[in-house]
Amino acid sequence: MNGADVTGLNFIGSITSPGTGESGSAAFCADQFREGYQVTRTLRTVNAATPDQFYDITTIDTTGGTVTFNGRTAIQVFGLSQLFTVNNEYINYISIGVGSSILYHGASASNSQITFDPPRILNFDLLPGQTFTQTYTGYVNGIPGSSTTMVTRYIGRESMVVPAGTFSTCHFEYVHSSQNGSFYTQNVWLAIGNGLCVKETDNIVDPTGYVTIQTVSLVSANINGIDITGN
């Protein structure tokens, strides 16, 4: 289908067809929208410019209740990130879209707020080889940035080995291209069942042409007090 209203909120995106194989919806976790749901992760980041060095960051995300954010009803996810002795607090605003999809409305931290209009759509209802395309604009404290087109491609199911173990995952690729010339390719491997991001690779080109390449891997995870380990 093309130009289909995939969210039920009149946000237009298009899905290529056909596709074959098992859907990426296996990595969609509806439990994360339940109030009190908590995920603790330790993530290891390695920059390609300094491959022998890394840093670990711990994040704690707890699902809260619903609020009105940017004129729409959204679920608050309260976050805390810990890097060395520095703690940062933030709130993400999400909601459930049509089928197996997540609407990302924006985030707030200290004195800053980011909003997306329309909300960014993370669409899991794709078969291997299918893509989903959406265009949105990001705002920082109400000031609009460049319009961005995001193309989501579902690669398929893959086994991924990280410090936390070996996981069965769904592999998605996100390509963001903005009118200001920036270009961002992100590959993520999400664990089947609980949707944990097991591994992420980022290739970022800023408007000046400067390139940043990094890899983020799961070191440990805990969901609602239960340790999550791979095979």
Judge whether 157 and 168 are in contact, CB under 8 Å.
Answer: yes
In a domain, 192, yes or no: yes
In a domain, 1, yes or no: no
> Quick one: which of 99, 130, 156, 170 has its CA closest to 18?
130
Per-residue pLDDT, 138:
93
The pLDDT tens digits for 24-33 are 999 999 999 9
94 DSSP 8-state letter: E
In a domain, 26, yes or no: yes
In a domain, 131, yes or no: yes
Per-residue pLDDT, 78:
98
Q: List, in sequence order, every beta strand (DSSP E) within the chain.
A: 14-15, 38-47, 55-69, 72-83, 86-96, 101-109, 112-123, 131-140, 143-162, 165-178, 183-191, 197-205, 211-223, 226-228
Tally of structural domains, the chain: 1
Domain at 43, CATH number: 2.40.360
In a domain, 230, yes or no: no
In a domain, 231, yes or no: no
In a domain, 5, yes or no: no
For residue 209, what are the domain limits? 14-223
Angle at 37 between CA 192 and CA 163, to 5 degrees: 45
Q: When comparing pLDDT for 11 and 25, which is higher?
A: 25
pLDDT-derived band at 19 (thresholds 50, 70, 90) equals low
In a domain, 8, yes or no: no
Q: Per-residue pLDDT for 16 more than 80?
A: no
Residue 98 to residues 4, 5, 52, 95: CA-CA distances in angstroms? 12, 9, 43, 10
